[in-house]
Amino acid sequence: MKKVLLLAVLIASLATAKESSRFGEALHGTYQYKDFQRSAYCRQCHREIYYQWQQSMMAQAYTHHWDEIEYFNLAVEHAKRNPKFKPVADGCNGCHTPFAYLAGDTPPPRPSKKSMANESVSCDVCHTISGYNEKLLYNFSYYVSPGRLKYGNRGGTNSPAHELKKSDAHGKSQFCANCHNEQSPWGVWVKSTYTEWLEGPYSKEGVQCHTCHMPPAPGKRAITEKKNYPDVRQHLFHGAHVQSKIRGAIDVLIQPSAKELEPGDRVVFTVQLFNQKCGHKVPSGSVEDRMLYLQVEAIDANGKRYHLPVDRKGFDGEEYTISSSAKAYQDFAEMMDVPEGFDGLPRDGITPGNRIFRMPYFTEKGIMTICQWNTAKLGVDYRIGPRETKVETFTWTVPDTIPEGTVRITATLNYRLLVKPVADFLKVPEEESRDRLINRGETTIEVFY
Ligand code: HEC
Ligand code: HEC
Ligand code: HEC
Ligand code: HEC
Ligand code: HEC
């Protein structure tokens, strides 16, 4: 009798061990919504942390306008027309609304239905993650263990609402990698923020994602607690959508090859772009959407502006890093109804001749795409790595018509989270495609006759 009981216990514990070691696509439909708690419940005691998190993009990972448009109008539609894409379209939810993925509710109800899917990447998502597959670390390779037990960085016994377990997994960049590294169905790394960090200088110095995105600061962890901590993890998760986070992320410096010139003289302006603030490349994350571009202009003594095109360097794939009137994104025709005669959209939507820091994504047919799930290969990687300095030159012949006096030369580095022609075509609010200033450098020359 005793033996049978022991065996039953053994089998049961094996079963739970197996359950909590599921990860990735094997997690689909293994739980129910009622196994998880809403963030509003945690707010009762963790007020500061709640309001920090609520302002972050992770709190809106399912509800944000552009996410809704890309998921429902492109990914879900693509999967309807080509069932090959069904698992990858369901998989969006494994990172953007894990409760819905775990509940097998895919596609989830639209955000306007205010279902549990709207919780996005919430308190109980991260604090019921009990570990992850150390060998994979991409495409939601986390283990979950929902319930009263929450996993955190210290552990503790004084919470009336839950039990706590100290988890070393939470403090490491690997924790973030489960969602911030992504592979397409072609095995292409379409998101690699973690790998960029790992290969860069910060990982060697022990600087984690948390150091910059969850900085420690003095305070309390819960309103019911008396104890003050010197280092409460701030749940800011501030990224590309926060102006103060991107402002100054890259230094922009510019100098001329000569100071005093006559009309007809040639001058070379050299711009240094130093990534002093980011632990990964810029752009990172949703690189397929992003465009970082440098625009250089001369402004003469009368206020007239001259646009200076960047000098070519001659590397493979450079054409994708200089703005032009080229077209791209023809693959929209595979996933949505497009106007008759649709032959793509303008690739860049900015003044031609500017340097763009980006990495283009291509479909199987070689079409440049913003759909990472439709990506079969990557193009040239011309982004600015952590602590890397890129140098660009601009050669200019001083025009004959220019007035005497001081000419100001400005080098403006702007960030667009989504290329504008795509945003306009898909009716994404301007918020996503407007210019966000990262930095501006300036120098002068004197024109004499
Ligand atoms: C369960 C998956 C998941 C985990 C774990 C996760 N993230 Fe995220 N994160 C996301 C998703 C999805 C988004 C995109 C939100 C959106 O739709 O804009 C995001 C967005 C962000 C952003 C905002 C980017 C922007 O463009 O503004 C930052 C910063 C960020 N995460 C940092 C982290 C850090 C640091 C960690 C680890 C402590 C982490 N994340 C762990 C899924 C996750
Ligand atoms: C009734 C109050 C209350 C509610 C509700 C509550 N907590 Fe807590 N929580 C606490 C207290 C108090 C502590 C500090 C416990 C200690 O230090 O022993 C704490 C600590 C934590 C920690 C720190 C763990 C660590 O290892 O450092 C995490 C994570 C946490 N809570 C997550 C949550 C989540 C997720 C929810 C919602 C599902 C939640 N809490 C709801 C009171 C609460
Ligand atoms: C994207 C994942 C993520 C989300 C979402 C998230 N947390 Fe955390 N939280 C963490 C990580 C990671 C740590 C530990 C950081 C470390 O070890 O440096 C942490 C730490 C904590 C702590 C302990 C802080 C300390 O320094 O003792 C509390 C309390 C907490 N979280 C509560 C919450 C609550 C409440 C929410 C929702 C409002 C929430 N968390 C949302 C990832 C997350
Ligand atoms: C040394 C500080 C630092 C470290 C370390 C760091 N980041 Fe960042 N991160 C930044 C800054 C600054 C930005 C804003 C500039 C930008 O958007 O690229 C940023 C932006 C981001 C973005 C938005 C990227 C974009 O352009 O859309 C994500 C996502 C992100 N970080 C996640 C992470 C993750 C995950 C890690 C760890 C693997 C990490 N960060 C490590 C400083 C850091
Ligand atoms: C492996 C996890 C993961 C998967 C799978 C995933 N995403 Fe994301 N997604 C993220 C992260 C992390 C970010 C934030 C990156 C950044 O801000 O640069 C993000 C950002 C986005 C954004 C916002 C981009 C912006 O401009 O801020 C959209 C839209 C989006 N994802 C749609 C999708 C769709 C549609 C799918 C499925 C085809 C999908 N995602 C699959 C992790 C994932």
For residue 192, what are the CA distances in angstroms to 66, 410, 416, 449? 21, 32, 19, 54
- Indicate the top mutation candidate among 189, 280, 384 to test ligand 4's pocket, ranked by most ligand atoms within 8 A of CB: 280
| Whether the CB of 227 sits within 6 Å of ligand 2 | no
Kindly report, residue by residue over 169-191, the tens digit of the pLDDT.
999 999 999 999 999 999 999 99
Q: Exposed (0-12), middle (13-18) or buried (19+): which is 303, by Cβ within 10 Å?
A: exposed
Distance 383 CA to ligand 1 centre (A): 20
On the question of pLDDT at 225 being above 90, the answer is: no
How confident is the model at residue 77, as a pLDDT?
Answer: 98
| Whether the CB of 61 sits within 6 Å of ligand 3 | no
Q: Where are the domains of the chain?
A: 17-233, 246-447
Alpha helices in 275-398 (DSSP H): none
The Cα 65–Cα 69 span in angstroms is 6
Half-sphere exposure of 211 (CA within 13 A, CB side): 13
Half-sphere exposure of 145 (CA within 13 A, CB side): 21
Contacts of 381 (CB under 8 A, 6+ apart): 281, 359
| Whether the CB of 379 sits within 6 Å of ligand 1 | no
Neighbours of 304 (CB within 10 A): 13
Distance 338 CA to ligand 5 centre (A): 24
Q: Percent of the chain at pLDDT above 90? A: 94
15 — pLDDT class (breaks 50, 70, 90):
very low
- Indicate the top mutation candidate among 37, 44, 45 to test ligand 2's pocket, ranked by most ligand atoms within 8 A of CB: 45
Q: Exposed (0-12), middle (13-18) or buried (19+): which is 430, by Cβ within 10 Å?
A: exposed
Ligand at minimal distance from the CA of 198 is 4
Ligand at minimal distance from the CA of 92 is 5
| Whether the CB of 50 sits within 6 Å of ligand 3 | yes
Distance 177 CA to ligand 5 centre (A): 13
How confident is the model at residue 157, as a pLDDT?
Answer: 84
Helix/strand/coil for 88 = helix
Give the residue, 19 or 223, on which the prediction is more confident: 223
Q: Which residue has the tokens 């009981």?
A: 5
Residue nearest to atom 3 of ligand 5 (CA): 95
Q: Are 410 and 441 in contact (CB under 8 A)?
A: yes
Kindly report, residue by residue over 369-422, the tens digit of the pLDDT.
999 999 999 999 999 999 999 999 999 999 999 999 999 999 999 999 999 999
How confident is the model at residue 299, as a pLDDT?
Answer: 98
| Whether the CB of 355 sits within 6 Å of ligand 1 | no
Q: CATH top-level class for 246-447?
A: mainly beta
Q: Which residues pair with 358 in a beta bridge?
A: 382
On the question of pLDDT at 18 being above 60, the answer is: no
Average pLDDT of the segment spanning 314-324: 98
Residue nearest to atom 19 of ligand 4 (CA): 239
